[in-house]
Amino acid sequence: MSSRGSLFWRRIRPSLLSYAGLAPFLAFALFPFYWMLITSLKADPNLYDLKRNPFWFSSVDGNTHQPYHKDIIVPASFSEGVIQWKVAQGAATTRSDSVQNPEPIAFIGAQKIESPVDGRLAAIRVPSGKIAHPNEVIGFIEVASPSLTHYRYLISTPFYRWLRVSLVTGLVVMLITLLLAVPAAYALARLDFRGNRMLGIVIFLTYLIPPTILFIPFSQFVGALKIDNTIWSLILTYPTFTVPFCTWLLMGFFRSVPKEIEERALLDGATRMQILRLVVIPVVLPGIITAAIFAFTLSFQEYVYGLTFISSTINRTLPVGITVDMVRGDVYFWGPLMAAAVLGSIPVVIVYALSLDYFISGMTTGAVK
């Protein structure tokens, strides 16, 4: 045991200085994500409790030192009547706005009492069969923190629809980009024609023209085509930044394939397309995967076009939907907002984790080659 421990120690010790040096950088890079995650899991009373350490969960109110709880109040519009509890004390409750048509927790005659929060029905003040009056506190619900309440709430928002729009757009744009960029990059890297090099530079330059210059004319353009407020406006315009970038990226990969292999195949009677399909593409597959990853992530990250072209809530992309429609007026619903941010990051994190090396090589070649 001790020898294994010391072996471990001997291996790790030279790295310690590096770890210590990198710690502040990592903390800076990752803190917002930690903050997003912990916020999304805190129940509302915990989230807005300034008396408690915000870096971790608490289930006890910092002011009253009671467990967080929410009163169940008979709405003022109700008339008094005999109360009939639907759930027993100690049972879990679901707040009224978290899913469509939630089960009521109690009835006063024909009037439904719904739960104000997710939690556990901790106490019943007015037992079944007794009269309940308007504005009367008839019981309370204990609120647990951490809890998944904000994630459950997302079902009642268009969140999943936005996610689908973003994923579909990302995938379609990825396909279009590859169909356009692979042949273009191959031609620029291989075929000898006049202005070849110049054309490569022009394609690269188009990547540098930012969406913030193009979004105003594009908004007129998609309006004229009558595709504004549809996913097509995005599918048509996103390749304007993915195609130049991916062409530039792929050119570097195609150039690294030795010409001799192709010349041999050409002598053996293969056509250009056959060479591309059978010889070149298998060799540059890592490059194509990198291009595909970038086409997807660049589309998934896009914001200005999505904000400008799409006007109805249900057709939005995820980043735009979260920033525009999860804020009502000036009120930010921080819990659901952070839950949406966490879930929205997951597709990109998965793509990224599966392709870390491709991703980083793409970042460097895209910028450097």
Residues 10-39 that bind other proteins (CB under 8 A): 11-12, 14-15, 17-19, 21-22, 25-26, 28-30, 32-33, 35-36, 39
For position 179 contacting other proteins by CB under 8 A, the verdict is yes
- Rounded to whole angstroms, what are the CA distances from 174 to 231, 238, 282, 290, 368? 14, 10, 19, 11, 22
**Omega of the bond leading into 239 within 30 degrees of 0 (cis):** no
The β-bridge partners of 93 are 119
For other proteins, give the closer residue by CB, 25 or 328: 25
DSSP state of 80: P
**What single letter denotes the amino acid at residue 46?**
N
Choose which of 74, 203, 231, 284 interacts with other proteins (CB under 8 A): 203
Task: Choose one: 79-87, 101-109, 122-130, 202-210; the region binding other proteins (CB under 8 A).
Answer: 202-210
For position 363 contacting other proteins by CB under 8 A, the verdict is yes
CB of residue 159 vs other proteins: minimum separation in angstroms? 12
For position 210 contacting other proteins by CB under 8 A, the verdict is yes
DSSP state of 104: P
For position 243 contacting other proteins by CB under 8 A, the verdict is yes
For other proteins, give the closer residue by CB, 123 or 351: 351
Spatial neighbors of 254 by CB under 8 A, at least 6 apart, are: 185, 186, 188, 189, 190, 280, 284, 287
Nearest to 282 by CA among 317, 257, 302: 257
Q: How far apart are the C-alpha atoms of 364 and 369, rounded to whole Å?
A: 8
For position 6 contacting other proteins by CB under 8 A, the verdict is no
Per-residue x/- track, 38-57, other proteins (CB under 8 A): -x-------xx-x---xx--
Per-residue x/- track, 121-160, other proteins (CB under 8 A): ----------------------------------------
Count of residues that bind other proteins according to CB under 8 A:
90
Q: How far apart are the C-alpha atoms of 6 and 115, rounded to whole Å?
A: 56
Task: Choose one: 59-67, 74-82, 139-147, 214-222; the region binding other proteins (CB under 8 A).
Answer: 214-222
For other proteins, give the closer residue by CB, 124 or 342: 342
For other proteins, give the closer residue by CB, 110 or 368: 368
Task: For the beta carbon of residue 309, count every other beta carbon within 10 angstroms.
Answer: 27
Q: How far apart are the C-alpha atoms of 356 and 297, rounded to whole Å?
A: 13
